[in-house]
Amino acid sequence: MTTVVTSGVFPSTNPPASPISGLGTADVRWGSGGSQSGYQFRGAAADVELDGTEFVVGTFVHRNLPTSVSPSQFDVQLTINVMFEDGSTTDLDFSFHHNETPNTTGSSPVDDDLVDLQTRVFPQPVTIGGKQYRAVLSGFKRNGQIVQQFRSPEGGVNFAEVVCMFTLDEPDVIISSLRHLGTGPGQPDEYVEIFNQGGAPQDLTGWVLESKPTGRDFPFPPGTVIQPGQRYRVYTNESHPQFGGFTFGSSQQVWRDEGGIARLVAADGHVPDQYPYLDRGFNKSGRP
């Protein structure tokens, strides 16, 4: 574990946006007059595990007012300065893609501006205590969920925590969550989420997600790759492209309400992770 203190600035946009002010500071604005939008980054102090455990590296603020900027879509670079407890520092460079959507209806979510994390798939090398790690910006944390796209309602000041991790330069895929209580007949919105907390991509060709004790399996399609900091979800009978679009395609529940075990089985047969919940499926009096 190490302790870090962070700060950040926005050095540039690509392509250059106009009109814009505040480049090189932690508070960048675009538009003109009294209706400027923009980003702010607020640093944080955190105790950090060096095993892929996510931590809040700072707070992302979007001031979203009706404005005009050219072009309407551009990348905003963010440089985060990380100071370690021994006084050493390192700079991490990341990028956000901004979509200044047309303000046509005056309502949310139609007119929400969109901010997409661009460089989570390019981990930054970092040396901590003489050892080499990778820094991965894994997403925005809002309402307890970590997502790659931040929807920012018009006419307000909107916040999201920015989540990062320090990890080794190798893949490490785990089951990060399981929703076993869905809604409606067949509970189509149940899902299992897998997460690559490592610093390198993992090819999931030949990998299988198993549901115990219902016996249902989901083989990942050939060529599926999960990048560092990326999350995939396998739904019972829904498709969500933002999480990979994976589904069991089952009209019946896959995860027993009474309990069970999710297992992730690699192509060579070993089990990188498993996720028991409730009674682990040993209560045979419930529904299978």
- 141 and 177 share a domain? no
Whether 29 maps to a domain, the answer reads yes
Number of domains in the chain: 2
- 143 and 214 share a domain? no
DSSP per residue over 49-93, as a string? Answer: -SSS--EEEEEEEEEE-S---BSSEEEEEEEEEEEETTS-EEEEE
pLDDT value of position 108: 63
- 148 and 102 share a domain? yes
- 76 and 149 share a domain? yes
Whether 11 maps to a domain, the answer reads yes
Structure tokens at 168: 């080794």
Q: What spatial distance separates the first Cα and last Cα of the chain, rounded to whole Å?
A: 43
Per-residue pLDDT of the chain (288 residues; tens, 9 = 90+): 899 999 999 999 999 999 999 999 999 999 876 788 999 999 999 999 999 999 999 999 999 988 889 999 999 999 999 999 989 999 999 899 999 987 766 666 667 899 998 655 568 889 888 889 999 988 899 888 888 888 898 888 999 999 999 999 999 999 999 999 999 989 999 999 999 999 999 999 999 999 987 899 999 999 999 999 999 999 999 999 989 999 999 999 999 988 999 999 999 999 999 999 987 655 544 333
Structure tokens at 41: 């980054």
- 15 and 127 share a domain? yes
Give the range of the structural domain holding residue 80, as residue numbers without chain letter: 2-167
pLDDT value of position 285: 41
Q: What is residue 102's three-state secondary structure?
A: coil
Whether 283 maps to a domain, the answer reads no
Alpha-carbon gap, residue 264 to 175, rounded angstroms: 7
Whether 286 maps to a domain, the answer reads no
Alpha-carbon gap, residue 142 to 155, rounded angstroms: 19
- 41 and 66 share a domain? yes
- 15 and 65 share a domain? yes
Q: Which residue has the tokens 């505040």?
A: 22
Domain boundary among 145, 167, 189: 167
Residues in the chain: 288
The set of residues, in sequence order, having a beta carbon less than 8 Å from that of 130 and lying 6+ positions away, is: none
Alpha-carbon gap, residue 250 to 238, rounded angstroms: 9
pLDDT value of position 168: 92
Whether 284 maps to a domain, the answer reads no
pLDDT value of position 105: 62
Alpha-carbon gap, residue 140 to 163, rounded angstroms: 6
- 199 and 185 share a domain? yes
